[in-house]
Amino acid sequence: MSWWGVKGGGWGMVEEVWRKGPWTAEEDRLLIEYVRVHGEGRWNSVSKLAGLKRNGKSCRLRWVNYLRPDLKRGQITPHEESIILELHAKWGNRWSTIARSLPGRTDNEIKNYWRTHFKKKAKPTTNNAEKIKSRLLKRQHFKEQREIELQQEQQLFQFDQLGMKKIISLLEENNSSSSSDGGGDVFYYPDQITHSSKPFGYNSNSLEEQLQGRFSPVNIPDANTMNEDNAIWDGFWNMDVVNGHGGNLGVVAATAACGPRKPYFHNLVIPFC
């Protein structure tokens, strides 16, 4: 079964007809091929370039929620569940923000999970003040993001200049100091991204492992402990994110060397697990 939508046109006019409903394997294949050749973005040109009778929104959604190669399949783990609960308590229904802390999970997936597992348990908030508060928070968050994007761009540039040596020496320095105070796993908290994303001690076995960004969460940091000294870390971790797989420093360095560009803030992934 399939559905067809009509785009644009006036009385008696059909400008373009979009297919709707479930995606077929062939459509998936075409979309994957399109992204492989042209990369993500420019979704509205998919229909022209890939021969797909789907609108841009539909293509983007299909890719983001289903076809992306870095998606994690399978059940939400108890660990992920606790993160969702924690972050929902902090952020509310900002699913994309929450999703950034769960690599491989989509906002849609988390949203669905929340609805089916927790919505009934949650107190209904029909309070108008709550809504207003939420909207103000959203606006504030957006403003913060804009500022961070600008900062990140500057930091990425600084990172280019500093080079890999600096990072490694920082990592070593941080590792030795953290091991002396008991170490502990790294905790990445979305809120901290807006101020700093310097890891709070880690107990990875090797420098390589650290460079690969394979950390696990344990300690929730105090936002007050954040300061400007973490600037270099911002660049480092966020570029890790640009890579999108939480890890390969070589690629990260290559990405960083690509010169000025728009920061991929929406792709920020804070590896929790």
Nearer to DNA, 71 or 218 (CB): 71
Write down the least CB distance from residue 41 to DNA, Å: 5
**Three-state DSSP class for residue 17:** strand
- Among residues 14, 44, 82, 125, the one that binds DNA under rule CB under 7 A: 44
Write down the least CB distance from residue 230 to DNA, Å: 24
Under the criterion CB under 7 A, does residue 97 sit at the interface with DNA? Answer: yes
Sort 217 into a burial class: Cβ within 10 Å, 0-12 / 13-18 / 19+. Answer: buried
Write down the least CB distance from residue 243 to DNA, Å: 17
Under the criterion CB under 7 A, does residue 174 sit at the interface with DNA? Answer: no
Give the range of 54-62, 80-88, 225-233, 234-242 binding DNA by CB under 7 A: 54-62
Q: How many CB atoms lie within 10 A of CB 251?
A: 15
Specify whether the CB–CB gap between 72 and 105 falls below 8 A: yes
Site string for DNA, 175-194 (x = CB under 7 A): --------------------
Nearer to DNA, 189 or 202 (CB): 189
Tokens 């294949």: give the residue: 29
Give the range of 106-114, 161-169, 229-237, 249-257 binding DNA by CB under 7 A: 106-114
**Crossing angle for the helix pair 128-180 and 249-256, to the nearest 10 degrees:** 110
Under the criterion CB under 7 A, does residue 62 sit at the interface with DNA? Answer: yes
Specify whether the CB–CB gap between 202 and 215 falls below 8 A: yes
Give the range of 56-64, 156-164, 192-200, 242-250 binding DNA by CB under 7 A: 56-64
Tokens 């040596």: give the residue: 165
Under the criterion CB under 7 A, does residue 166 sit at the interface with DNA? Answer: no
**Crossing angle for the helix pair 231-243 and 128-180, to the nearest 10 degrees:** 110
**Three-state DSSP class for residue 165:** helix
Under the criterion CB under 7 A, does residue 158 sit at the interface with DNA? Answer: no
Are β-strands 3-7 and 16-20 bridged in parallel, bridged antiparallel, or unpaired? antiparallel
Tokens of 51: 């021969």
Note the residues at the interface with DNA (CB under 7 A). 1, 3, 5, 19-23, 41-44, 56-58, 60-62, 65-66, 75, 93-97, 107-109, 111-113, 115-117, 139, 142, 146, 262, 266
